Structure 1
Amino acid sequence: MRQVMYSQFGDESVLQLTEQAVPSIEKDQLLIRVKAVSINPLDWKVYGGEMTLMSGSKFPKSVGIDFAGLVEQTGSAITQYTVGDPVMGLLDAFKGGALADYIVVKATDVAPKPANTSFEQAAALPVTGLSAIQIIDQLAAVKANQEVLINGATGGVGVFAVQIAKKRGARVTAVVSTKGVAAVTAWGADTVIDYTKQRLDQLNQRFDVVIDLSTKLPFAEAKRLMKPRAVFVSTLPSPVSLLSSFVNNLFSGKKHKILILKPTATGFSTLTKLAEDGLQIVLDKTYALANVQEAYREARRGKGIGKSVIVMD
């Protein structure tokens, strides 16, 4: 089978299409025939060597976190899935491995694919959809009538964060480039800030929740946008940021919380229901597996709206 692997840290040129044996499963596992895999910013941070404390430095490594596909084989202890079932799911964020024709997972790693989604759309759901749910419903605990600022609102998580925050009754201010203004307006944002025309540090408004999905708004700068007991959520955990947020939260009414994605059955259930109820899934571009280097190179430039997906043709 085909699998994307890399044997050293670096840019997209380290990603190589290799031939590997189809993996075997144990009694509590599933063999999935992968149909589509989405691209996530964490991917290039891992293969770029920025996350070695969490990913380790042992090679070879593989790439790809969330996927959609068909159940190819079930272990003897599996009762909830049968061969041919369409599923979506995700692998360990720091180990990856989804960019392969076949992958082995546990039943807890997958959920039924929403019936109204394509495999490409379903592959774009798990990481960013579950992240948005965890941010909006748990870390920020967004409530009706709260003022929520989402910086970087047209990325993979932003697409869902805007929509889910609106479903929770919040008033959403979305920060995007000129290209994204129409999109976030269509998703329901109440106010749109084009950062090419207006700087955040010139805003007079204060917010109950500030969510930075761009990784370009540090907590030190976000504090001036926050009400006295507001919550700031960022999405790139590191030992330094985790420690500083812990210390801050002991003494400050302005809380800094960091997303560490923890997939749960409840999260998958919420995500599936949202998708079946019409949650918009925005795909920026799809690529063939043979073009994996190009796919990651273009995604890392960050100019698209929504998620890019690699199709296992």
Structure 2
Amino acid sequence: MKAIAYQQFGNTDVLQTVEEPKPVIKSNQVLVKIKAVSINPMDWKIRKGEMKLMSGSKFPKHTGVDFAGIIEETGTAVTNFKKGDEVFGVGKNSMKEGALAEYVAVSSASVWKKPASVSFPQAASIPITGAAAVSVLENLGEVNADTQILVNGATGGFGMFLLQLLKQKQANVTAVASTNALDFAKKWGADKVIDYTKENVLTQQKTYDIVIDLSGKMGYANARQIMKPKSLFLNPTPKPIEIPLSLIKNLFTGRKHIVVLSDPSSKKMETLLDAVSRGLQIEINKVFSFTESVDAYRYAEKGGVTGKVVIEIN
């Protein structure tokens, strides 16, 4: 089968199309014929060597984490899926093995049935960014129409899910985005939008109960300027040093720095599937073919992409 792999850390030029054996499944696994794989920032952070403490430096490595496809074969211990089922899921080890291939073998616990109402590209966009958005919600506590929330960098794949989930909770949301993405922020539920190319949210005379920095560019030190005396700063893209430091600093301040870590668990998928059934929209920014995989990553990595970028495999 064809797959995308790389033999060294680097930019998109290190990505290669390779021929590999079709995976052989274990008793608890399913073999999925891949129809679509979505792109996440995690993909290029691993490829560029930014996460080598976790990924290791052994090659070849593969890319792509979340996918959608059709079950080709089930292991002898699998009872909840059958051949022909349309599913979406996550690769078993995103640090070393990827989903961007014609077939993938994964635990049956890492796939879920695709809703008929969404396409393969849309389903492939759900697990990683969707689960991250649910993880943010789990760290908010109770929110209502009086809760003032600022979402910085609000219109990528992460923000697409988060804005809509916050709106389903009736929160009062201000979204910071670029000029061309403001309409999407409004469509996804933002009560107010701020164009960061024209306004600096840090200099406005408004404070928030919760600040969520999806861009990773604001930082807790800056966010303190617009946080109420007792408030939360949620950081879903932390630097390693921020995890222990936040725990220490939170002992001495009412402005809490919360590091959000996520995993695409079945519980989170249930929350997302329920949200989809209630009208959550999944915006696909652009679809590339498998032969255009390098172009797809170049496009996604330039930044400023609204919604999700997906690679489709026929």
Q: TM-score, normalised by structure 2?
A: 0.96
Residues 1:297 and 2:308 aligned together: no
Paired letter, 1:84: G
Using the alignment, how far apart are the partners of 1:204 and 1:17 within structure 2?
52
Deviation of residue 60 (structure 1)? Answer: 0.8
Deviation of residue 133 (structure 1)? Answer: 1.1
Give the match for residue 69 of structure 1: 69
Give the match for residue 201 of structure 2: 200
Deviations 1:195-245 (Å, cap 9, x if unpaired)? 001012212111111111111111111111111221111222432121211
Tell me: CA distance 1:96–1:231, structure 2 relative to 1, closer, same or farther (3 Å).
farther
Deviation of residue 182 (structure 1)? Answer: 1.1
Give the match for residue 308 of structure 1: 309
251-260 or 195-204, which moves further after superposition? 251-260
Residues 1:281 and 2:289 aligned together: no
Q: Please say if residues 30 and 107 of structure 1, whose CA atoms lie closer than 8 Å, have aligned partners that are also in contact.
A: yes
Using the alignment, how far apart are the partners of 1:150 and 1:64 within structure 2?
26
Deviation of residue 142 (structure 1)? Answer: 5.0
SS at match of 2:230: strand
SS at match of 2:84: coil
Give the match for residue 185 of structure 2: 184
95-104 or 21-30, which moves further after superposition? 95-104
Using the alignment, how far apart are the partners of 2:143 and 2:184 within structure 1?
23
Q: Output the aligned Cα RMSD.
A: 1.2
Give the match for residue 6 of structure 1: 6
Give the match for residue 237 of structure 2: 236
Q: Please say if residues 142 and 168 of structure 1, whose CA atoms lie closer than 8 Å, have aligned partners that are also in contact.
A: no
Residues 1:160 and 2:161 aligned together: yes
Q: Please say if residues 35 and 313 of structure 2, whose CA atoms lie closer than 8 Å, have aligned partners that are also in contact.
A: yes
Give the match for residue 143 of structure 1: 143
Give the match for residue 45 of structure 2: 45
Tell me: CA distance 1:195–1:279, structure 2 relative to 1, closer, same or farther (3 Å).
same
Q: TM-score, normalised by structure 1?
A: 0.97
SS at match of 2:262: coil
Give the match for residue 79 of structure 1: 79
Using the alignment, how far apart are the partners of 2:229 and 2:154 within structure 1?
24
Q: Please say if residues 135 and 141 of structure 1, whose CA atoms lie closer than 8 Å, have aligned partners that are also in contact.
A: no
SS at match of 2:281: coil
Alignment gaps of 5+ in structure 1: none
Using the alignment, how far apart are the partners of 2:96 and 2:251 within structure 1?
32
Give the match for residue 18 of structure 2: 18
The alignment of Structure 1 onto Structure 2 pairs a total of residues equal to 312
Give the match for residue 28 of structure 1: 28
Q: Report the identity percentage.
A: 44
Tell me: CA distance 1:303–1:106, structure 2 relative to 1, closer, same or farther (3 Å).
same
SS at match of 1:255: strand
Name segments (4+ residues, structure 1) moved above 4 Å.
Answer: none
Q: Please say if residues 236 and 259 of structure 2, whose CA atoms lie closer than 8 Å, have aligned partners that are also in contact.
A: yes
Deviations 1:126-167 (Å, cap 9, x if unpaired)? 11111111112x122351121110011110010111111111
SS at match of 1:198: coil
Alignment gaps of 5+ in structure 2: none
Residues 1:272 and 2:253 aligned together: no
Using the alignment, how far apart are the partners of 1:139 and 1:52 within structure 2?
28
Give the match for residue 252 of structure 1: 253
SS at match of 2:241: helix
